[in-house]
Structure 1
Amino acid sequence: MQHDTLLQLLESQQARFRVIEHPPEGRSDLVAEIRGTAPGQGAKAMLCKSKDGAGELALVILSGDRKLDFRKVAEALGIKKATLASPEEAMAATGNVIGAIPPFAEPGMRLLVDPALVESYGEIAFNAGRLDRSMVLNTEDYLRIAQPTLVSVCS
């Protein structure tokens, strides 16, 4: 989702959020420091797919300080093995470079969110379709608008 589209969505849904402009950065630990948020507040977006190339893409969101467990992702998606989409696939599917993908799925894409992210913080933070803009969004508003499937995807 592009930055301007995301802004329009959040404003139309009366979400509680703020935009932070900063130097371009996509690494979770560094951008958290720039934002002044906890690393675990960062909503790290990982675009996943079946290792055999079959099926749909899924956007998997986890805390910026956690590691993705591909076995759990595969189980949640009902596939044999999961892997990350390539940078080219990510750009084609989301319109964003890796590191700038916001935690909102494109139409027809599954959205999985690790519960630890949304249970631990009142706000989540993420790069908002650009490496030089972040959003800090109320967690309740995020869940209401994005309507993700909550499932443990971390090791």
Structure 2
Amino acid sequence: MSEQIFNKINTLLSQNDAKFKVIDHEPANTSEAVAKARGTIMGQGAKALVCVIKGIDPKNLAASQNEKPDQTSSNSLLKSSKHYVLAVLPADYKANLEAITHEFHGTKTSLASPAEASELTDCVIGSVPPFSFHDRLELIVDSKLFERFEEIAFNAGLLDRSIVLNAKDYERIVKPRLINFATA
């Protein structure tokens, strides 16, 4: 299941001349444990959380994506009553879900269920990389991810395989929507 995601990431990074390395390691259950297994600092970790935002007015969502409200019927991000985001932040920070709710003018943001996360990422919780390959999963990144370290590290679709990637290459390739939602 997630081997496919690893291969997509590896291909994407290679095709875009990114500076990265693959690290095989023992599976780990926490950000701290996986950082130790990788030989990286916990703050380098790019934690990826699948979140669901409820109560968004489609006009606000269309405006935030630089679209006209009448385009909402053709945009798959707007077709469901829930809006999903892949929220990426440094592993040593916590996600302020209220900040995400506020940014999207929604009524509530919560973590997606394991089943929703699996459907949208093709990964189990804990192995979700900071890349979205699903048209219903918008990528948002907290700018703090780019402020402290030259490299980021993340599980690459598998619990026992990580990638350490140049942070500027990541930002250049994925062109994320930057939102401040991480708190210490």
State the TM bucket, normalised to the shorter chain: over 0.9
> Larger Cα Rg: Structure 1 or Structure 2?
2
Q: How far apart, CA to CA, are the structure 1 residues paired with 2:155 and 2:182?
A: 20
What does residue 136 of structure 1 align with?
A: 164
Q: Does 1:111 align with 2:139?
A: yes
Structure 1 unaligned runs (5+)?
none
Question: Does the CA-based 8 Å contact 1:46-1:59 persist in structure 2?
Answer: yes
Q: Does 1:69 align with 2:96?
A: yes
> Which structure is higher in helix share?
2
Q: How far apart, CA to CA, are the structure 2 residues paired with 1:83 and 1:57?
A: 10
| TM-score scaled by length of structure 1 | 0.94
Question: Does the CA-based 8 Å contact 2:53-2:109 persist in structure 1?
Answer: yes
How many percent identity over aligned positions?
42
What does residue 95 of structure 1 align with?
A: 122
Structure 2 unaligned runs (5+)?
56-79
Deviation by residue 1:79-122 (Cα, 9 ceiling, x = unmatched): 11100001111111110001111101124221111111111110
What does residue 59 of structure 1 align with?
A: 86
Letter in 2 for 1:117: L
What is the number of equivalent residue pairs in this alignment?
155
Question: Does the CA-based 8 Å contact 1:26-1:127 persist in structure 2?
Answer: no
Q: How far apart, CA to CA, are the structure 1 residues paired with 2:40 and 2:103?
A: 29
| TM-score scaled by length of structure 2 | 0.80
Deviation by residue 1:46-94 (Cα, 9 ceiling, x = unmatched): 0000256832210000110001111001112221110000111111111
Q: How does 1:1-155 map to 2 (within 5 A)?
A: 2-51=5-54, 54-108=81-135, 109-155=137-183
